[in-house]
Amino acid sequence: MVKTNLKITMMAVAMACVSLTAACEKDVFDEGSKPDEEQPRPDKGVINKDTAQIDYMTVAEAQEATVGEVICVRGYIVASCTRSMSNADFTEPFEGSTAIILADEPADLDDFKYLTDEHLFPVCLTEYKDVRAALNLVDNPQLWNRLVYISGVKSRYMSMPGLKKVLQYQVAAQ
- Which domain does 7 fall in, by range? 2-171
Q: Is 117 exposed, middle or buried (0-12, 13-18, 19+ CB in 10 A)?
A: middle
Per-residue model confidence as pLDDT tens digits over 92-132: 899 889 999 999 999 877 766 655 667 899 999 988 899 99
The 10 Å Cβ neighbour count of residue 67 is 10
Count of domains forming the chain: 1
Cβ–Cβ < 8 Å for 142, 135:
no
β-pair partners for 156:
161
Confidence category of residue 26, pLDDT binned at 50, 70, 90 = very low
The DSSP 8-state label assigned to residue 86 in this structure reads E
Q: Say which CATH number the domain at 117 has.
A: 2.40.50.200
Per-residue model confidence as pLDDT tens digits over 122-166: 999 988 899 999 999 999 999 999 999 999 999 998 888 999 999
Q: What is the pLDDT of residue 89?
A: 86
